[in-house]
Amino acid sequence: MVSNPIFIDLSKISDSDRLFDLLCYPIYDPKTFNSRLIELETLGIKSIELSGPTILNNNKILGKGTRGLVLKANLGNSSIAVKIRRIDSPRINLISEANIQLFANKFGIGPKIINYSDNCIAMELIEGQLLIDFFYKMDSVNIVLIKKTLESLLSQCYLLDLHGIDHGELSDLKKHVIINNRVNIIDFDSASLTRKPSNVTSCVQYLFIGGPPSGLLQNIFSIDREKLIITLKNYKRTPNYLNFIRIINLLKL
């Protein structure tokens, strides 16, 4: 039985102390709480919906990372996601992350940023299957769909490489790609414009060489592992379109 979600009206915070944990995780501080409440209201957010796959202090949320929490919220008549910087985050604000994600948005990559402040990012809500679930929860192996999904994912990775955006966490894709009617790369928390991008190589290594789905995908596509490693090294040395297409062709996508 599915329980109805709990909504917290930001104008009636006395109705629930749940919000204290969420805006000031992991340590409540009244001054910080009040300033973040103002930030959310400035972004136009009227309420928080306790919904999602992650449980934090008996609250359902969309996600929990080392630097922030992601909550479901309501903006007008739409549901959105809002990231809240953790109190113990080593980052002093979320401005850099928001700006890099906005840059990625220009190329159709990442949840669309709606608005942001020092400690909050309001963005498009992405719901669907995690990539690992997409592979293993199919009723039957749909090679056409798998190929289409992987080609879209790697094309987005190439665009990130091309424009100097290193996502930073694509060596472990299980929490950073969501599949619905499209492929969505999420969570730009560790993204950088100063590191050398390694999105394509990290993604291919996870998918076909060392990650959980590599055995399944090597079997489906009969990948020449050694040749793939050499092709990836060539791309890493010279990350141009020709070397990217060589990877795509070798993977039969």
Q: What is the DSSP string of 183-228?
A: EEE---TT-BSSSPP-HHHHHHIIIIIISTTHHHHHHHHT--HHHH
Interior/surface letters 23-52, b for 16+ CB within 10 angstroms, e for the rest: bbbeeeeeeebeebbebbeebebeebbbbb
Task: Select from 7, 79, 5, 83 the least CA-distant residue to 40.
Answer: 83
For residue 55, give the 3-state DSSP assignment: strand
Q: Which pLDDT score, from 0 to 100, does residue 56 have?
A: 93
CA 104 – CA 111 distance, rounded (Å): 9
Domain extents for the chain?
6-124, 129-250
- What residues contact 134, with CB distance under 8 A and at least 6 apart? 149, 179
Query: How many helices (H) and strands (E) are present in the chain, helices listed first?
Result: 9, 12
Which CATH architecture fits 6-124? 2-Layer Sandwich (3.30)
Q: Which pLDDT score, from 0 to 100, does residue 2 have?
A: 54
Fold agreement between 6-124 and 129-250:
no
CA 47 – CA 65 distance, rounded (Å): 22
Signed CA dihedral, 15, 17, 19, 23: sign only: positive
CA 194 – CA 187 distance, rounded (Å): 18
Cβ 116 vs Cβ 98: under 8 Å = yes
CA 161 – CA 62 distance, rounded (Å): 28
Cβ 176 vs Cβ 169: under 8 Å = yes
pLDDT in tens, the chain (253 residues): 456 778 999 988 655 678 888 999 999 999 999 999 999 999 999 999 999 999 998 899 999 998 999 999 999 889 999 999 999 999 999 999 999 999 999 999 999 999 999 999 999 999 999 988 888 877 677 889 999 999 999 999 999 999 999 999 999 888 899 999 999 999 999 999 999 999 999 999 999 999 988 988 988 888 899 999 999 999 999 999 999 999 999 999 8
Q: Which amino acid is at 35?
A: S
H or E element: which one contains 101? helix 95-105
Q: Which pLDDT score, from 0 to 100, does residue 1 have?
A: 46
- Which one is the CATH code of 129-250: 1.10.510, 2.40.50, 1.10.10, 1.10.3860? 1.10.510
Residue 12 is classified by DSSP as G
